[in-house]
Amino acid sequence: MSTVIEPSTPQPVQTSTRLSPWTAIRTVFSLEMKQRLRGRAWYWMLGIWFVVIGFIFVLGTGILGATGNEGGILFDLVVGFVLFFGLLVAPGLSANAVNGDRAGGTLAILQVTLVSPGQLLTGKWLASWVGSLAFLVLSSPFIFWAFALGGVEVSEALVSLLMLAVELGILCAIGVGISALADRPLFSIVSTYMVVALLTIGTLIVFGLSSALVTEEETTTSSYYNFPESAYRDDGTIDETVEPECITQTYVAPVAHTEYVAWLLAANPFVVVADAVPYNLPDESSFNARAGTYGYEGDYYSPGVMESASQLVRAAQAGPDLDVTCEEVEAAYAPLPQQTPIWPLGLGIQVALAAVLLLIGRRRLTMPAKRLAKGTRIA
């Protein structure tokens, strides 16, 4: 009697169809960083950057050695220069992160793995951000040198560096998002630089043109101190024992109400960084001397580059003063205190722009693709 053996049914092998988000992002990040570190151009850029910022710092030290706020001005100079250079470097590091791999035929390999489009974009964004932060780290010796000279509070330094890092991250996110949308690396790089130019120079142009739209004829009262005629001697000299008197004039002139359009400056990266820093302003009581014939006799305040930008934005927010008293003239050289900060609005606009670009770019990377542009390389 023979026994029939039934063939066993093969059991399906349990395989994971999903990677943990951190593992996938770390894998893409590692691949991007290895690719960047293997290139010599990366190190050449860092070396040139270190030499340039060192030259600017030494030159500024020689020029500002006689000023009373040398440390604060030099610190502001380094922060402004790092931000300016970051606006040039960040698009170059991120604007071809996705379509560069598409042109090289390596993007499709990542798309058919367990890495999701969102994880792919996040890993490339983090790699671009870390690459741009290397320039900030390389500038740290000069930043700490300026900090050691005095005139800068710890809170000012920490907030400045934090906002610099955040701005570089947002710029890299914008570049990666445009890179996922554009089909050609050259087009994405040019488009990213155009967005950066729109945020920096474009906001200034729009603000200037909009100021003309809010200009109205207003009755303005202006007061100032001057010596009376009795103070002048026969030889033309002034009797310093005579007190200057307050002279008030009223006239009608076109006045720009910048308080209505100051929000247009919010998205400017320099405004975001400058307005977020809690500057240590001097006591207003030191700005109480009169600006007479011999010039201003009170204390002078020498702000840095970034603090000057913050003061200009605050003046735009305050709007025109239609009734200038002699007491206000006495404090004309005093810095303006911060009333309503404008940097949260600007940071929100930038984050929203970067998020929209990344979300649309994520849809473009979803597989299988329903439609591809003509001439797009797949693998």
pLDDT classification of 361: cutoffs 50, 70, 90 = confident
Provide the greatest CA pair distance for the chain: 147
Residue 115: which region, alpha, beta or left (left: phi > 0; alpha: psi -120 to 50)?
beta
Helix, strand or coil, per DSSP, at residue 244? coil
Calculate the alpha carbon distances from 165 to 26, 279, 306 in Å.
20, 19, 16
Model pLDDT, residue 330: 64
Q: Choose from 6-20, 43-57, 111-125, 170-184 the range with maximum mean pLDDT.
A: 170-184
CA distance 328 to 313: 19
If residue 221 lies in a helix (H) or strand (E), which one and from where to where?
strand 215-226
CA distance 300 to 278: 20
CA distance 200 to 203: 6
pLDDT digits (tens, 9 = 90+) for 256-297: 888 899 999 999 999 999 999 887 766 555 555 444 433 444
> Is there a contact between 376 and 197 (Cβ–Cβ < 8 Å)?
no
Calculate the alpha carbon distances from 244 to 226, 231, 326 in Å.
5, 9, 11
Model pLDDT, residue 19: 66
**Would you say the C-alpha torsion 98, 100, 102, 107 has a positive or negative sign?**
negative
Model pLDDT, residue 181: 87
Helix, strand or coil, per DSSP, at residue 257? coil
pLDDT digits (tens, 9 = 90+) for 153-209: 888 888 889 999 999 999 999 999 998 888 888 888 899 999 999 999 999 999 999
Model pLDDT, residue 4: 52
CA distance 185 to 99: 6
What ranges in 182-304 are assigned the alpha helix state H?
A: 185-197, 203-213, 269-276
Model pLDDT, residue 325: 74
pLDDT digits (tens, 9 = 90+) for 297-324: 444 556 677 888 888 888 888 888 777 7
Model pLDDT, residue 297: 46
Kindly report which listed range (66-75, 209-218, 289-298) carries the lowest average pLDDT score. 289-298
**pLDDT value at 149 more than 80:** no
Measured from the Cβ of residue 314, the count of other Cβ atoms closer than 10 Å reads 20
What ranges in 220-281 are assigned the alpha helix state H?
A: 269-276
- Percentage of residues in the chain having pLDDT higher than 90: 19
CA distance 119 to 124: 9
Model pLDDT, residue 373: 58
| Residue that the structure tokens 């906001």 belong to | 203
Helix, strand or coil, per DSSP, at residue 295? strand
For the entire predicted model, the pTM comes to 0.80
- Interval 109-135 mean pLDDT: 84
> Is there a contact between 244 and 224 (Cβ–Cβ < 8 Å)?
no
CA distance 169 to 83: 12
Token duo for residue 123: 């890993």
pLDDT digits (tens, 9 = 90+) for 244-253: 777 788 878 8
Q: Choose from 12-26, 31-45, 118-132 the range with maximum mean pLDDT.
A: 118-132
Token duo for residue 302: 């020498």
Token duo for residue 308: 């000057």
Q: Which residue type is seen at 368?
A: P
CA distance 202 to 206: 6
Model pLDDT, residue 13: 44
Label residue 133 exposed, middle or buried (CB < 10 Å: 0-12, 13-18, 19+).
middle
